[in-house]
Amino acid sequence: MSTTLELAKALIARRSLTPDDAGCQDILIERLEKLGFVIERLRFGNVDNFWARRGTTAPVVCFAGHTDVVPSGPIEQWDSEPFTPTIRDGYLFGRGAADMKTSLAAFITAIEEFTAAHPDHSGSIALLITSDEEGVAIDGTVKVVETLKARNELIDYCIVGEPTCVNKLGDMVKNGRRGSLSGKLTVKGVQGHIAYPHLAKNPIHMAAPAIAELAATEWDSGNEYFPPTSWQISNIKGGTGVTNVIPGTVEILFNFRFSTASTVEGLKQRVHAVLDRHGLEYDLHWELSGRPFLTPRGSLVAALGSAIKEVTGLDTELSTTGGTSDGRFIADICPQVCELGPPNATIHKINECVAVSEIEPLKDIYRTTLRNLLVHV
């Protein structure tokens, strides 16, 4: 059993449901302290986080990730107990195997091997680890970033260990993510009897033309790295549940997944303009889950791409698809943030797993990236 596989199994065995770290961070910290890392435990609310750093000079290369996992779902549907790491048919099964305890293990063993080979490397190596990524994400990475920013401690390069690959290890690196902006729209009408529509105002009918216009709007054209911004309705609720009452209000929940080609303020203004143009009486409450971030081709993209090519022979693809990640917070103090982890086909699913044959190569990619960034810079 490789050192990385052994560590991944030890982490998977911890029942670390968000926001409970269940001792995973203790395992990581013990290994890091032996390498001379200075550890700063940062607990906010009921969330455990830590910031670890080896070195005091730039550039700072940071590995970021989370020890928490989503619930297992119906245990009887798993082929093996989700928190008992099990190797079967060439795969390591367990909750968190892909998202993202194998990446955490590979961070540690890559750093161990790199520092053994290059004890006097340039710059610094850091880790930013949270137990609040899969949950509400208000006391995790965002708070650590605020702490670092307040004392002007910045990061030059950050590799987030989220599962990014599609078919095989190394085939995709996320060099950015779209932002997420949600709205709760309540259109107001006048409730009344369905047989006397002239005595009522149907908010669903009034909202329909505005909805059609919002759905047909081209918000932007995207850019080299991002697809066009998308506006989607997720829920509509109106009425009393009977067929003879015109509702007094209709509630519409919608979401923008938006690129760097648009701004939060611009999207809000355009939505309000449409609603106002249609003469609607409404309330609209906004919630910004994350701004988009983008790392164009540069030092980090090149270092990762070169490492992937050296270890796997693949020419990696850059992508900004998928949901949000903690990279959106880290980008506030780091100009170059990329995500690389194992294939994501089984994340959050029953029988989550990673191929055992890809665990050591993942570690090798991380180690080689450190070499590319910190040796002879």
**Among all residues, which ones are annotated catalytic?**
68, 133
What angle separates helix 102-117 from helix 3-12, to the nearest 10 degrees?
140
For every residue of 250-280, DSSP letters joined together read EEEEEEEEE-TTS-HHHHHHHHHHHHHHTT-
Q: Is the peptide bond before 163 cis (omega within 30 degrees of 0)?
A: no
Is the Cα dihedral 138, 18, 148, 142 positive or negative?
A: negative
The owner of tokens 């909750």 is: 95
Q: Are 319 and 304 in contact (CB under 8 A)?
A: no
| Residues 354, 94: Cα–Cα separation, whole Å | 9
204: CB partners within 8 A, 6+ apart: 187, 189, 238, 239, 247, 250
Dihedral angle over CA of 136, 138, 142, 148, nearest 10 = -150
Amino acid present at 335? P
Q: How many of the other CB atoms lie within 10 Å of CB of 48? A: 26
CA dist., res. 341 & res. 245, Å (int): 53
CA distance 217 to 235: 19
In 3D, which of 159, 153, 145, 138 has the Cα closest to residue 65?
A: 159
